[in-house]
Chain A
Amino acid sequence: MAPARTPLSLYVHWPYCSFLCRFCAFSKARVPAGGVDHALITRALLAELRTSLAPHSRDKELRSIYFGGGTPSLAQPAHVAQIIEQASRLVPLAANAEITLESNPTSAETDKMAAFKAAGITRYSIGIQTLDDGVLQRMGRLHSGAEALAAANRAASLFPGHVSLDMMFGFESQTVDQWQRELETVLAHANGHLSLYQLTVEPGTPLFRDIRAQRVKRNPDDTLALMYETAVALCRSRGLAHYEVSNYAASPEAQSIHNLGYWQGRQWIGIGPSAHSRFIDPASGTCLRTVRIPDIQRWARSCLEHGHGTAKSETVDDAEARQEAVVFGLRMLDGLSNACFMRTGCVSSGALSLAEYLRVDQVQRYLRDGYLRSSGRLDHLAPTERGLQVIDSILLDILP
């Protein structure tokens, strides 16, 4: 029997958006006046894909592919199909691999949904953000709440059990009641998965500037906390289990395999402008983190000339890998197991257990106070709901 292949994930960054949201800090660009040069982007992605995946063809299998952006639902389904096909030719697709596409719920994109399914997409993620048409407009989004619900319904029929709806809370002037009502409506249309994000004001965004100039008021921290708590309770009552800070799933199978990979410290390759990767370099055996060129044109040119658009590559040492394993592992309500920590993707030096690594006195205190839970002598460590809500504070205490 052939040795088991190591799981690998592929992230594909499609950089264009038809509109730019005021809160978005991701790498993106508005669709240029003359339209997107789809052929160029696809050629560049395919070139980078070939170069990046080829070294992994012998011992890896693709567990997930994720088309993110930008707005990948603006891409042509045929090109998406080409990328999936080429990827699976380089590294075999695992049985029931998850292939997600992010989308905006404009009617034009909704019309392409079936074609994406035909192209090989198995999971469909819709950025609803809010159902409040006033807020949608203020945030620069070109769709209505009604269109979003229509898109959700369409997705539910095409990808039953594998639809994810993205919502945000904490917009200016939003009240806890409003949020609860919106979430009730969205829950009625949910089909497997929800991502509920607190609106984060990221430096460099138009929203950040509005808040700094006091054109827009921020909701008080305690109101945001209450919105979060409301979401946790409401989702639970509708059978959606909270499994990561901002993510809820109807069943373990409905959780996002791709995103779990990030939190569990697995390897992934990212292609497309500004995409990140983290993998063990088959040539050297060291763990690398790479970032692609952010500028779309320069990235594409580099891909066509050199086969990739990597801008930066750095080694992740054991200390960083261990720290990351804890920081990301404790974002999940399932937490992380000691066994998993000890062989965390990149750790190559002598194994260290959680009990040896963490500040045990602090861990004990948080266990006692009901912020963390564990089994055995730290065979497994996980946050409680209460702990997850303040996990960033806890991490500062328990990390060495």
Chain B
Amino acid sequence: MATACRYLRKASMKSGGYATKADGLGAEIDITGYTPDRIRNFSIIAHIDHGKSTLADRLLETTGVITKSGKNKQVLDKLKVERERGITVKAQSASMFCEHDGRKYLVNLIDTPGHVDFSYEVSRSLAACQGTILLVDAAQGIQAQTVANFYLAFGEGLAVIPMLNKVDLPTAEPDRAALQIESAFEIDAANIVHLSAKTGLGIGRVLPSVIERIPAPSGSIDAPFKALLFDTWYDKYVGVVCLMAIKDGAVRRGDRVVSMHSGTRYEVMEVGIMHPEQRPATQLQVGQVGYVVCNMKSVAEAHVGDTFHKDKFPVVPLPGFAPAKSMVFAGVFPLDAGEFDKLNESIQKLTLNDSSVAVHKETSAALGQGWRLGFLGTLHMDVFRQRLEEEYDASVLVTAPTVPYRVQYKDGTSKYIQTPADFPTAIEIQDKVDAVMEPFVLATLIFPEQYLGAMLELCTMHRGDIHTHTYLDESRVMLKCRMPTAEMVTDFYDQLKSRSQGFASFDYEDNGYNESDLVKMEVLLNGEAVDALAAVMHRDNVATVGRTMAKRLKDVIRRQLFDIIIQTAANGKVVARETVKQLRKNVTAKCYGGDISRKMKLLNKQKEGKKRMKKIGRVELPQEAFLSVMTGSKE
């Protein structure tokens, strides 16, 4: 049971949980004795690498949910990318049984993603909890993501228990970290729990703290069934599996439940808890958190934040969540047009388990048929691309990310721009447009004070507006800066890391729209505009970016049998021009008997390479051309 991988679970399903049904009902566990006062629902919030998943592993071990094999490395982080990058992308949950002061408790850990790109997932996880552990690395102190997640939890009115992890490290400075917690969050860190999730030090104090300091869930067993749907995933054998927090009443197999969002009725096939895999139970009831399988065929039917009730017993719906909002958009195209269908299938499968990706079909003159995908942030985009390539072996071309600009027309209507192709022309702007708005974020940067100068410069360079800078202790600074989202999605993060030698951490939240002087920059190859290379940017950036882009394209475009003129232009004015001169000679000098095999091998390799080129008119554009436009446009 230690390999609690959601994807392995699919494969082991037939021999696992569901086989018990065929054997009769004997395997279903009875948790009806756990009334709300014996239940705690909590999550852990932490910055990347502060040890959240390791702490979760230790808790699951001490409560016997998983065996202590030494192989439990981040049991809840089930995706390869999650383990590789040390981030949690999808919220997971696990139930534990434990004893405290002679009483038995059912404690549910609801995992949260550690990166604010996934703050939408964080907030829905938090909605299923009553409290959270704020885990801080005692050596690193608080980081930008800790701050962002703390305020999310605080905003939900959850009980927050700060804890310090990695206190066994020689570089640990627990007192300093405690001080930072106090000054950043204005909470009392006097009796803070000291932990080493790695060695197990202090683990025994974690669950008692959770039980003592986090309130029991409210609700009544006698009220009509009411539950919050807070996560779903697709299982190829049973369809959609829903994770629900039961707010009132109870649910069991055979019940007929209704989605308040759609009004659709479902028959409950199975209920249970995550332990850490699906374990059927006789009944889920008020205060508990568990899974419900109810003949739901597609993830599209499962609206996270939806309220469920029993058929004929309507309830007042829970507040629910705003749908996930895309912060960046990018075009995704198959490298080889022949792979469209395969890629289509892969994207569909992947979005089954990640409903926060917005998917629209898109056709590019340059790249053919593809998609415009909306992501929660650039990390989300990166993770999605990586999962496509790793899990589905797809070769994709991702165009430069765009943020959702908003165009307000003089007639009072407005439109969101997801792709540069939709951006109004100069004439349209003059005649019909009232204002072009661009989205902003409020960024939080935390770093040692010696980088203050570099960080201020970085923010200013990215059109940032410094709000405050606060000293968290004598040497760590927290800087708040409002800047256009577009500035953040290019090279901001890389620059932040390099200018602070890796010591700065960064997070952000949405911060509305502002009017902005935006223009569309186009790339023309031999006079023909390449839609997939176009970009919307602030007028101040046009000259630099235009020159850099033309130069980079010149470096990656190979010589062909004719001159290739590269131009970057904005508002009909050419910003920069480069020429890739005509290829004068390309012929193998010597080709005799012994050279034939080599020559043919080379030829076939070149033919393969050519297939992967994108053609703009007669100009062959290598993949690097698209990458060159995406990365680091401000050198």
26 A-B pairs with C-beta separation under 8 A = A27-B594, A197-B590, A225-B584, A226-B584, A228-B585, A245-B587, A262-B592, A262-B593, A274-B594, A277-B593, A289-B596, A320-B600, A323-B600, A323-B603, A327-B600, A328-B591, A328-B596, A331-B587, A390-B583, A390-B584, A390-B587, A391-B587, A393-B560, A394-B561, A395-B603, A396-B606
A221 touches B (CB below 8 Å): yes
Determine the distance from Cα of A323 to Cα of B601 in the docked complex, in whole angstroms.
11
B599 touches A (CB below 8 Å): yes
Determine the distance from Cα of A224 to Cα of B589 in the docked complex, in whole angstroms.
11
Chain A: minimal CB distance from B384 (Å): 34
Please tell me if the beta carbons of A275 and B584 are within 8 angstroms of each other in the complex: no
Chain A: minimal CB distance from B542 (Å): 33
A207-237: CB near B (< 8 Å → 1, else 0) gives 0000000000000011011101000000000
Interface residues of A in 383-400 (CB under 8 A from B): 388-396, 399
Sample of 19 further A-B pairs with CB below 8 A, known A390-B583, A396-B606: A11-B593, A197-B590, A222-B581, A226-B584, A228-B585, A245-B591, A246-B589, A259-B592, A270-B594, A276-B597, A323-B603, A388-B587, A390-B561, A390-B584, A390-B586, A390-B587, A391-B587, A392-B588, A394-B561
A200 touches B (CB below 8 Å): yes
Binding site for B on A (CB under 8 A): 11, 26-27, 197-198, 200, 221-222, 224-226, 228, 245-246, 259, 262-263, 268, 270, 274-278, 289, 320, 323-324, 327-328, 331, 371, 388-396, 399
Cβ contacts under 8 Å, B610 to chain A: 396
Determine the distance from Cα of A225 to Cα of B581 in the docked complex, in whole angstroms.
13
Cross-interface CB contact of A289 among B584, B597, B599, cutoff 8 Å: B597
Cross-interface CB contact of B587 among A259, A270, A392, cutoff 8 Å: A392
Cβ contacts under 8 Å, B596 to chain A: 262, 276, 278, 289, 324, 328
Please tell me if the beta carbons of B587 and A224 are within 8 angstroms of each other in the complex: no
Cβ contacts under 8 Å, A389 to chain B: 584-587
Determine the distance from Cα of A198 to Cα of B586 in the docked complex, in whole angstroms.
11
Please tell me if the beta carbons of B594 and A221 are within 8 angstroms of each other in the complex: no
Cβ contacts under 8 Å, A268 to chain B: 593
Q: Which residue of A lies closest to B599 (CB)?
A: A327
Determine the distance from Cα of A396 to Cα of B583 in the docked complex, in whole angstroms.
14
Cβ contacts under 8 Å, A275 to chain B: 593-594
Chain B: minimal CB distance from A117 (Å): 24
Please tell me if the beta carbons of B591 and A262 are within 8 angstroms of each other in the complex: yes
Residue with the highest number of chain B CB atoms closer than 10 Å, among A221, A324, A331, A396? A396
Cross-interface CB contact of B584 among A221, A262, A388, cutoff 8 Å: A221
Cross-interface CB contact of B588 among A26, A245, A320, A396, cutoff 8 Å: A245
* Tally of A-B Cβ pairs under 8 angstroms: 88
Interface residues of B in 508-535 (CB under 8 A from A): none
B607 touches A (CB below 8 Å): yes
Cross-interface CB contact of A200 among B561, B584, B589, cutoff 8 Å: B589
Interface residues of B in 537-591 (CB under 8 A from A): 560-561, 581, 583-591
Binding site for A on B (CB under 8 A): 560-561, 581, 583-594, 596-597, 599-600, 603, 606-607, 610
Q: Which residue of A lies closest to B581 (CB)?
A: A222
Q: Which residue of A lies closest to B562 (CB)?
A: A369
Chain B: minimal CB distance from A260 (Å): 11
Cβ contacts under 8 Å, A262 to chain B: 591-593, 596
Q: Which residue of A lies closest to B590 (CB)?
A: A197
Determine the distance from Cα of A246 to Cα of B592 in the docked complex, in whole angstroms.
11
Cβ contacts under 8 Å, B587 to chain A: 245, 331, 388-392
Which 10 residue pairs across A and B have the least CB separation, nearest first? A225-B584, A225-B585, A198-B589, A276-B594, A392-B586, A197-B589, A390-B586, A393-B586, A276-B593, A200-B589
Determine the distance from Cα of A137 to Cα of B542 in the docked complex, in whole angstroms.
55
Cβ contacts under 8 Å, B581 to chain A: 222
Q: Which residue of B lies closest to A198 (CB)?
A: B589
Determine the distance from Cα of A274 to Cα of B599 in the docked complex, in whole angstroms.
17
Chain A: minimal CB distance from B559 (Å): 8
Determine the distance from Cα of A277 to Cα of B599 in the docked complex, in whole angstroms.
15
Residue with the highest number of chain A CB atoms closer than 10 Å, among B590, B592, B606? B592
Chain A: minimal CB distance from B247 (Å): 65
Determine the distance from Cα of A155 to Cα of B395 in the docked complex, in whole angstroms.
60
Q: Which residue of B lies closest to A389 (CB)?
A: B585
Determine the distance from Cα of A259 to Cα of B586 in the docked complex, in whole angstroms.
21
Determine the distance from Cα of A224 to Cα of B584 in the docked complex, in whole angstroms.
9
Determine the distance from Cα of A327 to Cα of B600 in the docked complex, in whole angstroms.
8
Residue with the highest number of chain A CB atoms closer than 10 Å, among B587, B589, B591, B594? B587
Given contacts A324-B600, A389-B585, contact A396 B607 (CB under 8 A): yes
Chain B: minimal CB distance from A168 (Å): 9
Residue with the highest number of chain A CB atoms closer than 10 Å, among B560, B561, B600, B606? B561
Determine the distance from Cα of A224 to Cα of B583 in the docked complex, in whole angstroms.
12
Cβ contacts under 8 Å, B603 to chain A: 323, 327, 392, 395-396, 399
Cβ contacts under 8 Å, A198 to chain B: 589
Chain A: minimal CB distance from B341 (Å): 23
Please tell me if the beta carbons of B593 and A270 are within 8 angstroms of each other in the complex: yes
Chain A: minimal CB distance from B156 (Å): 60
Cross-interface CB contact of B561 among A327, A393, A395, cutoff 8 Å: A393
Cβ contacts under 8 Å, B589 to chain A: 197-198, 200, 245-246
Determine the distance from Cα of A5 to Cα of B99 in the docked complex, in whole angstroms.
98
Determine the distance from Cα of A198 to Cα of B581 in the docked complex, in whole angstroms.
21
Determine the distance from Cα of A297 to Cα of B596 in the docked complex, in whole angstroms.
25
Determine the distance from Cα of A395 to Cα of B592 in the docked complex, in whole angstroms.
18
Cβ contacts under 8 Å, B560 to chain A: 393
Cβ contacts under 8 Å, B594 to chain A: 26-27, 270, 274-276
Cβ contacts under 8 Å, B600 to chain A: 320, 323-324, 327
Determine the distance from Cα of A320 to Cα of B606 in the docked complex, in whole angstroms.
16
Determine the distance from Cα of A394 to Cα of B585 in the docked complex, in whole angstroms.
11
Determine the distance from Cα of A198 to Cα of B585 in the docked complex, in whole angstroms.
11
Given contacts A323-B600, A327-B600, contact A278 B593 (CB under 8 A): yes
Cβ contacts under 8 Å, A26 to chain B: 594
Cross-interface CB contact of B590 among A246, A320, A395, cutoff 8 Å: A246
Cβ contacts under 8 Å, B561 to chain A: 371, 390, 393-394
Chain A: minimal CB distance from B582 (Å): 9
Please tell me if the beta carbons of B585 and A200 are within 8 angstroms of each other in the complex: no
Determine the distance from Cα of A231 to Cα of B234 in the docked complex, in whole angstroms.
69
Chain A: minimal CB distance from B597 (Å): 7
Q: Which residue of B lies closest to A170 (CB)?
A: B589
Q: Which residue of B lies closest to A200 (CB)?
A: B589
Chain B: minimal CB distance from A250 (Å): 21
Cβ contacts under 8 Å, A197 to chain B: 589-590
Please tell me if the beta carbons of A224 and B585 are within 8 angstroms of each other in the complex: yes
Chain B: minimal CB distance from A208 (Å): 15
Chain B: minimal CB distance from A400 (Å): 10
Cross-interface CB contact of B583 among A259, A263, A274, A393, cutoff 8 Å: A393
Chain A: minimal CB distance from B595 (Å): 9
Cross-interface CB contact of B591 among A225, A331, A390, cutoff 8 Å: A331
Determine the distance from Cα of A259 to Cα of B596 in the docked complex, in whole angstroms.
12
Q: Which residue of B lies closest to A391 (CB)?
A: B587
Please tell me if the beta carbons of B584 and A222 are within 8 angstroms of each other in the complex: yes
Determine the distance from Cα of A84 to Cα of B612 in the docked complex, in whole angstroms.
51
Chain A: minimal CB distance from B70 (Å): 48
Chain A: minimal CB distance from B117 (Å): 42
Cβ contacts under 8 Å, A246 to chain B: 589-590
Q: Which residue of B lies closest to A245 (CB)?
A: B587
Chain B: minimal CB distance from A131 (Å): 19
Chain B: minimal CB distance from A70 (Å): 12
Determine the distance from Cα of A289 to Cα of B598 in the docked complex, in whole angstroms.
13
Determine the distance from Cα of A371 to Cα of B593 in the docked complex, in whole angstroms.
26
Chain A: minimal CB distance from B589 (Å): 4
Chain A: minimal CB distance from B557 (Å): 14
Determine the distance from Cα of A224 to Cα of B587 in the docked complex, in whole angstroms.
11
Chain B: minimal CB distance from A336 (Å): 14
Determine the distance from Cα of A327 to Cα of B606 in the docked complex, in whole angstroms.
13
Cβ contacts under 8 Å, A331 to chain B: 587, 591
Cβ contacts under 8 Å, B599 to chain A: 327
Determine the distance from Cα of A399 to Cα of B611 in the docked complex, in whole angstroms.
12
